[in-house]
Chain A
């Protein structure tokens, strides 16, 4: 800040000028000659004007500077600033209100932290408590479907398969909620390791086959990458991302249509696309499609259930792998969601450096 634009400097200059003017005015009133004037007031008078102005500037601006300092500390995130000043004038009032505001900020910040802790604890406990009985359902339905509990007929298989898929849907929802709360806390941990990426995608495609069959949607997987291709990735997170995109593609397709998953390698990047011929995304809503809890209006009309979390989580996962995700879509004609991930090994260092957890100010 340049000297002349500081408030203290302005007060000083102003009062100094006023005092000097006063001295000159006094000289005129007393009909002094210039010589008498300098003899009478001399350097001492001017010096006194300087000192007095300095003191004045200091007294007036000191409380304001103090207030500014306190405000700056609050802005920087330190809300435990004690602001105390015993004054009964306007500046005292200002301090009084300011302390009140500071206290308010402090309290709401503390409440916010406590609330977010309670929320994440609740989500953790709820998720775990729900997962145990859901695992029991998953396992028993699977044992029956696999014939471990004796032979079952086709009709029974069909019903059990539907129950199994419904149960899988609940498990996925709970995983989504858990993931969201971890993303919000900035603790969405990744376990990167060399992964046979085709296997992870294959697993997600296989896990979606039954859901596709129930909805009468054909599902195919075009593998344009070598089966043994290994890239650094978090296997289970990639599975989740593909699963979430596939879930939408199948859910918003009409019976008899086809969903195509394709994995290819272009310019050192793994490129995965999932194409459907379903209801598409309305043009006006395309910018919101990756926002949390957002569901397109035609999607809600077709299917009331859905959390609106799938693509938000998928985007987060792909970006943590140093990749990008996007889509093209036309209403009533279909949607193509695609993402790419660097297949090189050096990205992991880069992504660790650029990793900025949400909700953590640095």
Chain B
């Protein structure tokens, strides 16, 4: 699996620390764990504990990809997706949902609001999440 990851052109960009990600996740422990993995892989990660904070960070500097939780204090993940759709600046940022919801209706709702993929936290390991992010970045940018 590692070989497959490294063979993606995106791997070189990640190695040069030039791929920026934003993660919106209210659980601090989960946030720390996934950031540790992503940073270890060479991504530049900015974190936000709420949707509002996430939108603000992205407005300052647009990332190449957003990892977004759904159940959040204040704005929900869906609200964030809607806000992004309305903004010229944020519209084109690909979003991967990272949530423990994940029934059909939730996945469909997120995708109809523009989410690229929907990963259920309890079903994916950090390594698998990284692989998926690299695949999506590769499709979009390479």
Do A and B belong to a common assembly? yes
Q: Is the CB–CB distance between B37 and A148 below 8 Å?
A: yes
- In the complex, chain A residues 124-151 whose Cβ is within 8 Å of any chain B Cβ: 128, 131-132, 134-136, 138-140, 142-143, 146, 148-149
B74 interface residue per 8 A CB criterion: no
Query: For the complex, is A223 an interface residue (Cβ under 8 Å from B)?
Result: no
Closest Cβ neighbor of A190 among chain B residues: B104
**A142-B126 in contact (CB<8A):** yes
Of A143, A171, A182, A190, which is within 8 A of B126 by CB? A143
In contact, B30 and A148 (Cβ under 8 angstroms): no
Closest B residue to A145 by CB, please name it.
Answer: B125
Q: Are A146 and B107 in contact (CB under 8 A)?
A: no
B123 CB, nearest partner CB in chain A, Å: 7
Query: Is residue A6 contacting chain B, with contact meaning CB distance below 8 A?
Result: no
Contact A132 B27 (CB under 8 A): yes
Residue of A with least CB distance to B102: A236
The interface residues of chain B lying within 8 Å CB-to-CB of A132 are 27, 30, 100, 121
With contact pairs A128-B71, A148-B40 given, residues A139 and B125 touching in the complex (Cβ less than 8 Å): yes
Q: Classify the secondary structure of B's interface with A.
A: helix
| A153-193 to B contact mask, C-beta < 8 Å, 1/0 | 00000000000000000010011000000100001011100
Contact B122 A131 (CB under 8 A): yes
Interface residues on B, range: 20 to 34
Interface residues of B in 94-142 (CB under 8 A from A): 100-101, 103-105, 107, 121-123, 125-127
Interface status of B12 (Cβ within 8 A of chain A): no
Q: Interface residues of A toward B: which range?
A: 20 to 34
Inter-subunit contact A135/B126 (CB<8 Å): no
Q: Known contacts A128-B71, A143-B36, A148-B37: does B101 contact A138 (CB below 8 Å)? A: no
> Which of chain A's residues have a CB closer than 8 A to the CB of B103?
182, 187, 189
A143 to B104, CA, bound (A): 29
With both beta carbons as reference points, the residue of chain B lying nearest to A134 in the complex is identified as: B122
B interface residues with partner A (beta carbon < 8 Å): 27, 29-30, 33-34, 36-37, 40, 71, 100-101, 103-105, 107, 121-123, 125-127
Please name 29 pairs of A and B residues whose Cβ atoms are closer than 8 Å in the assembled complex, sorted by A.
A128-B100, A131-B100, A131-B121, A132-B27, A132-B30, A132-B100, A134-B122, A135-B100, A135-B121, A135-B122, A136-B29, A136-B33, A138-B122, A139-B33, A139-B121, A139-B125, A139-B126, A140-B29, A143-B33, A146-B126, A146-B127, A148-B36, A174-B122, A182-B103, A189-B104, A189-B105, A190-B104, A191-B104, A236-B123
